[in-house]
Amino acid sequence: MWQAEHIRDRLSALHPGCTVSILGMTTRGDQILDVTLSKIGGKGLFVKELELALEAGQADLAVHSMKDVPMELPPGFELAVIGEREDPRDAFVSNRYERLSDLPPGGVVGTSSLRREAQLRARYPHLTVKPLRGNVGTRLKKLDEGQFDAILLAAAGLKRLDLGDRIKSLLSVEDSIPAAGQGALGIEIRSDNAEVAAMLGALNHPETAACVRAERQVSRVLGGSCQVPLGAHAVLQDGRLVLNGFVANPDGSDFIHDVATGDASDPEAVGQALADKLLALGARAILDALP
């Protein structure tokens, strides 16, 4: 809802004569909270109901967290905007410890993400990782009730909700490679809605879009979803993309990581190059072994 209100306010400022209203919806991803996303269908659970509203003409646009957007959109839909990225890092939240390295053997860490879990298990095999679902408030409540020693959340979500004070430390993008698109907002529209596309144009952030497009290409090639422990994060350096990514088993074994660089004008090519490197290092065997 914060994201929808943020885009509404941006559009209202850009187009003062236009009325922007919010159609609040609850997706299956919001409703099913007792099972990990990897077991109930993954990222598309946060998008499908919104696409149905677009298709029916109930809504003109849908605002998504880019990390929740499936790699392939259904025919007739497109991403009109990828907005400027917030902090892409993962946040360490705890009431007892300052950083992950402070947790003792057996310390319980909560996360809903196979990507975070795989990296946790690879770097901190002495910790206990348990699933954690629900919205941000629900997750923080479970931490405060003592069900976990620490939890990992996207820093962007906490900051957007004015909960940045709950962050004890931030994991570097090298130590915890983010999900493709993490921290960025995307706006989805019907492909035939040229009028809305034109109104949204000023919200697009070309630098973020290039980075996210490269990240998403890695995930697209490797079948990235909530069922695949995969991360990809790109930055722009002197007009070139530097793309960092990994694939691993959920238990953190067979952790395959590499980096690709290339021209920012062709981000998909950079993503393809990294995906090819990971496949050459053995990613296919990992992917084929996943349930």
Active site residues: 68
CA angle 152, 267, 234 (to 5 degrees): 30
Cα–Cα distance for residue pair 142/21, rounded to 1 Å:
33
- Per DSSP, the three-state class of 18 is coil
- Per DSSP, the three-state class of 187 is strand
From start to end of the chain, where are the E strands?
A: 62-65, 77-82, 90-93, 108-111, 128-131, 150-154, 169-171, 185-190, 230-237, 240-247, 256-263
User: If residue 31 lies in a helix (H) or strand (E), which one and from where to where?
Assistant: helix 28-31
DSSP letters for 143-183: HHTTS-SEEEEEHHHHHHTT-GGG--EEE-TTTSPPPTTTT
CA 154 to chain centroid, in Å, comes to: 8
